[in-house]
Chains A and B, each alone.
Chain A
Amino acid sequence: MKTENRRILIIDDERPVIMTLEALLKRHDYQVDTAPTASQGLKLLKSKSPSLVLLDLQLPDADGLEMLDRIKTELPDMQVIILTAHDSLHNAIESIKRGAYHFISKPYAPEELLSLVEKALEKQSLVQEAEELREKTQQLEKRLEIAETRLTPIFKSKVMQEIEELINAMAPSDANVLIVGESGVGKEVIANVIHARSRRAGKAMVKLNCAAFPQTMIEGELFGYVKGAFTGAMNDFPGMIGAAAGGTLFLDEISDMPPDLQTRFLRVLQEREYRPLGSTRTMKADFRLIASTNRPIAQALSENRLRSDLYYRLNTFQIEVPPLRERRQDIPPLIALFLKQFAQQLGKPEPDIAADAFQKLLDYSWPGNVRELQNAIEYAVVLTRQGLIGAKELPTEVQLPTVLQQTERGAPPRTGVQSLDDVERNTILQALAQCHGNKKRAAELLGIQRPTLYNKMKRYAIEL
């Protein structure tokens, strides 16, 4: 086996040795650098990145074994062959113990040296290959872990169990699916599960967030284009429909797709053909469509954000993912999942959650749904120091008493005239929320005495 990187550094202070070795190795197609001192050797080691070092144990400016230590400290995978005039195993044993690949006594036989050099380079090549494979494996494991996490929605609550049953029933088909639900409920996670359990699981799942692209770009992203189709189209681009061939196309926030594009896309769904921008060729479209929207369907249709004909085409199966506050049974397993995930990501042991903190997580309304819960757990895992997440490690809004939570986020303005009592109650709630439940500061903010605040809280049944 001939190795690819054939650069060798010789560190030896004896000119005859250096020159003979250099000539011998160059004659056998190795690239050779030479250094007569340890300090020069270290410089060349950094600048030339050799694969192998031939190191003399007697150097003018350093002890060879110490030099070996330095090389192995700075470059642990570097192969080093020790050259020495000392015909004793003492140095050999010591140098092997310190990580040298091998040891050769001067005068060496050229064949013996060449054979050793080739073996050392082979080893170096294998070490590098193993390192690359290890890195790739780690990356793959990480990706798999992330993918598994993504692919693991929690189906604990009854409503989620029903959704899972529906997924299991329809995933193997090629039927279009529309997933609706508030932002952060996990629509993409559900889409991932459908793809993973479909017959197209072995092919790509291509995702396009229609809200993330300017309207002028989304057409090119979806249908692809040929070079020169428009200014800036420097190369052919296959587009998401092309990239999803054989797999699944997930269109997130489909109601944000421009109406004229919705019409064009509807034709793709009907005819199973499309044409990239600037191209005269018609291409076959072979994808399973999953779309999602966070807008209530009725509203999207009435506002003409979603074309009704496209909606009916999409809506073969509709999955409505309920907000987290309506399926609190899913909160504990989601907490457990995110704790594990973030502890691993941050390299920390998985922390416990104190009872009061856990209760706050259960009580909170989670307007941002699973995504907000995920962020809250990440926040807590980052902050926790003693392996226990207390209430103080939770985000401020989660720490607030339930009654103040909606106020803190800014309750939607009520239409029409409110009664004075309602106005007063809401003002008190806002002050308390702003002061994170601190009554003394809330009273100061409201410009009233603390006992007055207590009385009013009692009157309006505000309990913290």
Chain B
Amino acid sequence: MATAAPLNRTDALAVPWTDAVRFIRQLSHDLRNHLNAIELQSVYISEFEATAERKAEIDRLRKMLSGLTSALQKISVGLAELGTNLIAYRASDFVEDLRKTIAREFQDKSGEINWTMDTGSAMLQIDPELLQQAFLEVFSNAFQHDRGKGALRIACKIDRNRLVFTIHEPKIRFKSSTQNWGREPLRHITRGHYGLGLYRVRAIMEAHGGDMRAQYDPTGSELVTTLILPLQREES
């Protein structure tokens, strides 16, 4: 009869990544529910309150709660299971939609992008909403981390039945390795940053049969990120 292995308290937390993800998803979901309930309660209290000053304080409290909920939402989205809903979509439409969204989401920075587009009438087979989230994450990173002087340069072209979307980002400095770009979740964790963004971008690209590559060019001090998507196969 086999005897039970002695419990190693250090190893007890060495759970598989998939279990950890499930745990965080559930925790995030539960916490968001609680926060939503608290925020609703604060609205309820605010309805009773006649004093403008107290109403303003309750409103401040609500905004704090809302910020917390947003952070959890970000984690939930970052760890959400990927379900693609693929449809035929013109590449030029996808890029045009992306430009519009960037103009809306990054109003003060969207002017700092130079676009070079040559997609012709190529068609993609994509989940446009999901894919746009991935591209927006890359742009968000470009605007946030160690941004160097000069505009972002975007080149988008069709190359051997693929859409090749390249982002040239001027950087002040760049110390990371790009070898496992988007393959190492939680590697860089800082305040308000959980190291999940690029991991999800890669997952979305791969779910579309695409790829993501990045390379730092020290001479030009720019990071070149390339997002590649296969074109829709022509019906034979």
Q: Give CA–CA (A192, B232) in the complex, Å.
A: 77
0/1 per residue, A12-46, Cβ < 8 Å to B? 00111101110110010000000000000000000
How far is B173's CA from A310's CA once the two chains are assembled, in angstroms? 116
Chain B residues within 8 Å of A14, by CB: 97, 101, 129
**Whole-angstrom CA separation of A90 from B87 in the bound complex:** 33
Query: Which of A89, A105, A110 sits near B40, CB closer than 8 Å?
Result: A89
Asked if B182 is at the interface of the complex by the 8 Å CB criterion, the answer is no
Point out the residues of chain B lying under 8 angstroms from A336, CB to CB. Answer: none
A16: B residues at CB distance < 8 A = 94, 97, 128-129, 131-132
Candidate in A20, A109, A110 with the most chain B CB atoms within 10 angstroms? A20
**CB–CB B128/A15 < 8 A:** yes
Whether A87 pairs with B87 at a CB distance below 8 angstroms is no
B85 touches A27 (CB 8 A): yes
The reply to whether B128 and A88 form a contact with Cβ atoms under 8 Å apart is no
Is B43 interfacial (CB 8 A cutoff)? yes
Q: Give the distance to chain A from B61, nearest Cβ to Cβ, in Å.
A: 12
Q: Is A107 an interface residue (CB 8 A)?
A: yes
B87 touches A107 (CB 8 A): no
Q: Do A15 and B133 form a contact, CB below 8 Å, given A87-B70, A89-B69, A93-B43?
A: no
User: Smallest distance from the beta carbon of A27 to chain B beta carbons, Å?
Assistant: 7
Q: Bound state CA distance, A105 and B66, in angstroms?
A: 13
Whether B129 and A88, one on each chain, are in contact in the complex, defined by CB atoms closer than 8 angstroms, is no
A89 lies within 8 A of B83 (CB): no
Q: Mark B154-184, 1 if CB is under 8 A from A, else 0.
A: 0000000000000000000000000000000
Q: Is the CB of B83 within 8 A of A107?
A: no
Chain A residues within 8 Å of B89, by CB: 19
Which B residues lie within 8 Å of A110 (CB)? 83, 85
Known interface pairs A87-B70, A87-B73, A110-B85; A20-B39 also in contact (CB < 8 Å): no
| A89-B66 in contact given A15-B93, A20-B127, A107-B133 (Cβ < 8 Å) | yes
Say whether A17 contacts B43, CB under 8 Å: no
User: Inside 8 A of A15's CB, which chain B residues have their CB?
Assistant: 93, 97, 128
> How many residue pairs at the A-B interface have CB separations less than 8 Å?
59
- With A15-B93, A20-B128, A23-B85 given, is the CB distance from A109 to B80 under 8 Å? yes
**B24 interface residue, CB < 8 Å from A?**
no
Shortest Cβ distance from A152 into chain B, in angstroms? 51
Query: What chain A residues lie within 8 Å of B85 (beta carbons)?
Result: 20, 23-24, 27, 110
State A89–B34 Cα separation when bound (angstroms): 12
* B81, B101, B129 pick with most chain A CB within 10 angstroms: B129
Judged by DSSP, the binding face of A is helix
List, in ascending order, chain B residues with CB within 8 A of A23's CB: 85, 87
Q: Judge whether B83 and A111 touch: CB under 8 Å.
A: yes
Q: Judge if B62 is at the interface, Cβ distance under 8 Å.
A: yes
For the complex, give the distance between the alpha carbons of A111 and B82 in Å: 11
Q: Which residue of A lies closest to B65 (CB)?
A: A89
List of A residues within 8 angstroms of B132 by Cβ: 16
Interface residues on A, range: 20 to 34
Say yes or no: A107-B66 contact (C-beta < 8 A), given A19-B89, A20-B85: no
Interchain CB contact (< 8 A) of A107 among B69, B77, B81, B97: B77
- Give the residues in chain B near A27, CB-CB below 8 Å: 85
Nearest to A110 among chain B residues (CB) is B83
Q: A20 contacts which chain B residues (CB < 8 A)? A: 85, 87, 127-130
Tell me the minimal C-beta distance from A58 to chain B in angstroms. 9
Give the residues from 21 to 40 in chain B that come closer than 8 angstroms, CB to CB, to chain A: 36, 39-40
Q: Which residues of A90-121 are within 8 A (CB) of B? A: 90, 93, 105-107, 109-111
| Given A20-B128, A109-B80, A110-B83: A93 in contact with B66 (beta carbons within 8 A) | no
Pick from B80, B97, B128, B130 the residue with the most CB of A within 10 Å: B128
Residues of the B chain whose Cβ atoms lie less than 8 Å from the Cβ of A90: 62, 66
State the CA gap A24–B83 with chains docked (Å). Answer: 11
Q: In the assembly, what is the distance between CA of A107 and CA of B83, in Å? A: 12
Q: Shortest CB–CB separation between residue B115 and chain A, in angstroms?
A: 18
The chain A residue with its CB closest to the CB of B67 is A88
Chain A nearest CB from B85 CB (Å) reads 5
Near A by CB (< 8 A), chain B positions 93-146 give 93-94, 97, 101, 127-133
Q: In the complex, which residues of chain A have a beta carbon less than 8 angstroms from the beta carbon of B94?
A: 16
Chain A residues near B93: list those with CB within 8 A. 15
Chain A residues contacting B69 (CB-CB under 8 Å) are 87-89
Whose C-beta in chain A lies nearest to the C-beta of B101?
A14
B40 — which chain A residues lie within 8 A by C-beta?
89, 93
Residue numbers in A under 8 Å from B43 (CB-CB):
89, 93
- Return chain B residues, CB-CB under 8 Å to A88: 66, 69-70
Nearest residue in B to A94 (C-beta to C-beta)?
B43
Interface contacts beyond A19-B89, A109-B83: sample of 4 additional A-B pairs, CB < 8 Å, sorted by A: A14-B97, A16-B97, A89-B66, A89-B69
Q: Which 9 A-B pairs have the closest CB atoms?
A: A16-B128, A20-B129, A23-B87, A16-B129, A88-B66, A89-B39, A87-B73, A87-B70, A24-B85
Query: Can you list 8 A-B pairs with a CB-CB distance of less than 8 A?
Result: A87-B73, A90-B62, A90-B66, A106-B129, A107-B77, A107-B133, A109-B81, A110-B85
